[in-house]
Amino acid sequence: MAQGGGLDGWEGVDLVLLMAVDASASISRGTLDFQLRGHAAAFRDPAVARAITGGALGRIAVQLAQFAGPETLTTLLPWTVLTGEGDCRAFADRVDAAPGIAMGGSTAIGSAMVAAVQTLDTAPFAAPRRTLDIVSNGFSNAGIDLPSARGHAAAAGVTVNALAILDEFDWLEAYYRDKVVTGQGAFVRTAAGMEDFAAAFRDKLVTEIA
């Protein structure tokens, strides 16, 4: 992990980014694998490394997690600092090897948001921006209600962005825009299906980092 100065011994980075992928009943094992492969492909794209090195400090901290029902946010890859193409390729290799498990059950987006804020609050980094990146093909049907979760994230200064996979519900873009995303510059991206997921996630990642 790259070293650098920070507040109270914390490492300084341009962005702290927690990426959470849906592993609920709406996501088959194959679809979860495709999500992870899409994440790996994005980090291998030179555009992502260029976005990282273009920042004031030239480094970001990332973590990969998955979620399903309430209290299920689970770390797949712990906090890792990325400083350029070599780090991004190594992280992509680790994503490819990550043991993603289709959890089944409900989709508790609000609960995942609140748990993610707690994870970001305890991350050992000093950064001007903290972002939660949610990827899902469903809507919240369990756990903490979205207005409460959204307000919690906003109060903590955490930006929440989303990528909605529209393979089951074509109205999810508006749903995520109106009920989930929050923070300055927050946005929703969409993928019509698995075939264009990797490109959509790459573009989303570059926008979040830049």
CA 202 – CA 32 distance, rounded (Å): 17
Q: Facing residues of 120 across strands?
A: none
Confidence class for position 2, pLDDT limits 50, 70, 90: very low
Can you read off the two tokens belonging to residue 173?
Answer: 């873009």
Can you read off the two tokens belonging to residue 147?
Answer: 């207005």
Task: Give the residue among 70, 64, 151, 164 at the shortest CA–CA distance from 115.
Answer: 70
DSSP 103-136: --S---HHHHHHHHHHHHHT-SEE-S-EEEEEEE
Give me the pLDDT at residue 151, please: 98
Q: Using one digit for the tens of pLDDT, what is the confidence trace for 89-134?
A: 999 999 999 877 777 789 999 999 999 999 999 999 999 999 999 9
pTM value is 0.93
